[in-house]
Amino acid sequence: MPRSDWRRPPLQQLDPSIRRIRMTVSYHGAHYSGWQRQYNALTVVQVLEETVKAMIGEEVEIVGSGRTDSGVHALGQVCHMDIRNQKVKAEKFALALNRLLPPDIRILESSETGNTFHARYTAMARMYRYYFKREQDMTAFDQSLVAKVKRFPALELLNGYASCIQGTHDFTTFTASGDVSSSRWRDIYESYWRMETDRWGKQLLTYTICGNAFLYKMVRSLVGSMMDFAEIGMPVQEFSSILASKDRHKVGRTAQACGLYLYKISYDENEYAWFEEKHDE
């Protein structure tokens, strides 16, 4: 779909006394009930906001590029906060906050930005990666960080399904109940499976997907379904038909949260411009 149809609200001007600080965050999601604040559970953003308050004595609202569910990890979540504090240099927030945060949340970088940047509304692409290991290759360090399977399905068949996902589609079929999005059409720029090797020399089956945005549990539903369908040898054309059916009853399982990582957020308007140009042809 053209970017003009993304329905993003206009950015608000910042008060001259306000600074906007951008941060890139990694976290071990198994220890938290997701990114977004909740009334009855500990979340990543709650810990971040409380730590910033302890550091500068100021209540802040931290806005992320998007939400991650309970148990989902992040290597490159991007967020911002608007503060009145004028003393702390922007690049020092990463170092100072990491001294106060628990070790399962790390600020990778921090910088000053302006009202032309918004962690959510100026994001151009979001990339997720999912990791599987065979049961026989699991180490003591993989618990809650990698999903476990008995065997790997055929890579060629998995990539056949993955190719169907690229492009612009209505992803109702792979959207969990509870999604409140007004539209379930999404642009998917990249979708592929690869065999990789972890730092212990063990095989990792990885899935990478990158798009303009994602629906509730969409990635985990896609991953679990592709793995189930490849196990029984479902033809690629049948997978394509299931995607087009918009029938939630036709999907496979939803993959575990532990294997999913929010890998990267792109704010580069040119990185996937080819997709927009292709759409306009």
Per the annotation, where are the binding residues?
128
Rounded distance between C-alpha atoms, residue 173 and residue 171, angstroms: 5
H/E element, 242: helix 236-245
Per the listing, tokens 């292709």 go with 278
Length of the chain: 281
Phi, psi of 251 (to 5 degrees): -85, 170
Q: Which amino acid is at 77?
A: Q
Residue 178 is encoded by which pair of tokens? 């509870």
Contact 93, 24 (CB under 8 A): no
Taking Cα atoms as reference points, which of 127, 128, 126, 133 lies closest to residue 227? 133
Would you list which residues are annotated within the binding site for substrate? 128
Contact 260, 75 (CB under 8 A): no
Per the listing, tokens 């600080």 go with 21
Catalytic residue among 5, 15, 69, 280: 69
Q: What is the b/e burial string over 132-145, where b = at least 16 CB atoms within 10 angstroms of the residue's CB?
A: bbeeebeeeebeee
* Paired residues of 113 in beta bridges: 20
Strand locations in 84-202 (E) = 105-113, 125-134, 147-149, 167-170, 185-197
Q: Checking DSSP bridges between strand 62-64 and strand 167-170, what pairing results, if any?
A: unpaired
Contact 20, 117 (CB under 8 A): yes
Phi, psi of 64 (to 5 degrees): -95, 165
Residue 69 annotated as catalytic: yes
Show which residues are catalytic: 69
